[in-house]
């Protein structure tokens, strides 16, 4: 089961020229947005496929498996690969230009991790004279910690936030399991961050109850596999958020440390517990 979330400014839908069917299973979305597929459509329908292709915003598919290396062989790069493979080089390149393009990223990291003062990405020269770019975080005590020595969630948040911040034009982001390596508070802050950058469109697949709860209920789709096909329902077509939590195997005890809780008003009523 996967829940789809579409984040955007409250009440705002993409312009008609950019609209397409939101109720698609992941592989179908990828197929519909595949350039080769659109080319086939164009050959059959003439200008229809071309118009769709030319008017869609840029699409960035962020995979579930995002492995950020400990450093990059130094090179000038300005566009981050969605899996994070060149994150060090891009951050190094932009910081070297001494502009403020990454200030929103600096503020985001400081808000989540007050112990860090700023992100830096110096040119590291090894003993063999090879050059590397390495993201480091400078803390409030002026110590520098390599990103690889920080928690995995720190790197994931820097990657996801950088991808969003550095896109100046409206972009469609397909995010697969963005909550990987994040604790609940970081997941919530990620959702709030995405909503802040509402010029973009976000399609999120997740099993995270925190992200599902943080999303607007009218933007949540429940996807289940039944009778050899994917079934997609809106939240209003289900029994509510409870059904979604049941689908992902969440129990009351996972949240409240007990499957059932009885609230009573006084000591006398508490005695009822003896017979339960």
- pLDDT tens-digit profile of 157-213? 999 999 999 999 999 999 999 998 998 899 999 999 999 999 999 999 988 888 888
**What is the predicted pLDDT for the residue at 222?**
82
Question: Dihedral of the CA atoms 130, 131, 136, 138 (nearest 10)?
Answer: 100
- Give the span between the Cα atoms of 144 and 215, in whole angstroms: 36
142 lies in the same domain as 49: no
158 lies in the same domain as 173: no
163 lies in the same domain as 69: yes
- Give the span between the Cα atoms of 182 and 164, in whole angstroms: 18
Percent of the chain with pLDDT over 90: 46
126 lies in the same domain as 200: no
Which residues, 6+ apart, have CB-to-CB distance to 228 below 8 Å? none
Q: Tell which of 132, 167, 202 closes a domain.
A: 167
- Give the span between the Cα atoms of 117 and 230, in whole angstroms: 46
Tell me the chain's radius of gyration from C-alpha atoms. Answer: 23
- Give the span between the Cα atoms of 78 and 182, in whole angstroms: 26
Give me the residue label for tokens 């499957």. Answer: 259
Q: What is the mean pLDDT of residues 131-159?
A: 94
Question: Structural domain tally of the chain?
Answer: 2
User: pTM above 0.95?
Assistant: no
33 lies in the same domain as 69: no
75 lies in the same domain as 157: yes
**Is residue 260 in a domain?**
no
Residue 73 has pLDDT above 80, yes or no: yes
150 lies in the same domain as 212: no
Contact between 95 and 138 (Cβ < 8 Å): no
CB-count exposure of residue 8 (10 Å: 0-12, 13-18, 19+): middle
Residue 28 has pLDDT above 90, yes or no: no
The tokens of 21 are what?
């069917």
**Is residue 262 in a domain?**
no
48 lies in the same domain as 175: yes
208 lies in the same domain as 160: no
105 lies in the same domain as 190: no
Contact between 41 and 230 (Cβ < 8 Å): no
- Give the span between the Cα atoms of 2 and 248, in whole angstroms: 8
**Is residue 117 in a domain?**
yes
Please tell me which residue, 263 or 141, carries the higher pLDDT value: 141
**Is residue 271 in a domain?**
no
**Is residue 225 in a domain?**
yes
69 lies in the same domain as 156: yes
Picking from 79-83, 99-103, 138-142, 234-238, which range would have the lowest pLDDT averaged per residue? 234-238
**Is residue 265 in a domain?**
no
Strand partners, 139: 116
**Is residue 267 in a domain?**
no
The domain containing residue 125 runs over which residues? Answer: 65-167
**What is the predicted pLDDT for the residue at 95?**
94
Give the β-pairing of 201-206 and 171-176: parallel
**What is the predicted pLDDT for the residue at 88?**
96
**What is the predicted pLDDT for the residue at 166?**
94
Picking from 14-18, 116-120, 209-213, which range would have the lowest pLDDT averaged per residue? 14-18
* DSSP 8-state class, residue 272: G
Confidence of residue 17 (pLDDT cuts 50, 70, 90): very low
**What is the predicted pLDDT for the residue at 41?**
47
**What is the predicted pLDDT for the residue at 108?**
94
CA distances from 62 to 76, 125, 243 (A): 22, 31, 27
Give me the residue label for tokens 């891009």. Answer: 90
Confidence of residue 21 (pLDDT cuts 50, 70, 90): very low
The tokens of 224 are what?
């289940």
- Give the span between the Cα atoms of 3 and 246, in whole angstroms: 12
**Is residue 274 in a domain?**
no
Give me the residue label for tokens 């820097």. Answer: 158
150 lies in the same domain as 183: no
Whole-number mean pLDDT of the chain? 78
């Amino acid at each position: 089961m996967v829940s789809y979330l579409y984040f955007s400014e409250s009440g705002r839908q993409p312009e008609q020229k950019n609209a397409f069917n939101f109720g698609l299973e992941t592989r179908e979305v990828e197929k519909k947005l595949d350039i080769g597929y659109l080319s086939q459509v164009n050959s059959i329908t003439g200008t229809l496929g071309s118009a769709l292709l030319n008017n869609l915003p840029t699409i960035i598919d962020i995979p579930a498996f995002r492995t950020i290396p400990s450093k990059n062989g130094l090179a000038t790069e300005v566009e981050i690969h969605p899996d994070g493979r060149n994150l060090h080089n891009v951050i190094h390149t932009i910081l070297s230009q001494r502009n403020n393009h990454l200030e929103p990223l600096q503020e985001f990291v400081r808000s989540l991790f007050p112990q860090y003062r700023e992100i830096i990405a110096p040119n590291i020269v090894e003993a063999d004279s090879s050059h590397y770019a390495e993201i480091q975080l400078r803390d409030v005590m002026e110590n520098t910690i390599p990103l690889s020595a920080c928690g995995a969630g720190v790197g994931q948040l820097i990657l996801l936030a950088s991808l969003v911040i550095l896109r100046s034009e409206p972009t469609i982001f397909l995010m697969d399991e963005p909550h990987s390596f994040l604790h609940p508070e970081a997941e919530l802050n990620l959702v709030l961050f995405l909503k802040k950058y509402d010029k973009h469109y976000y399609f999120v697949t997740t099993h995270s109850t925190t992200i599902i709860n943080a999303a607007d209920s009218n933007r949540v789709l429940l996807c289940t596999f039944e009778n050899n096909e994917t079934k997609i329902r809106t939240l209003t077509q289900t029994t509510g958020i409870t059904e979604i939590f049941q689908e992902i195997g969440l129990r009351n005890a996972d949240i409240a440390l007990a499957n059932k809780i009885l609230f009573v008003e006084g000591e006398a009523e508490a005695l009822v517990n003896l017979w339960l």
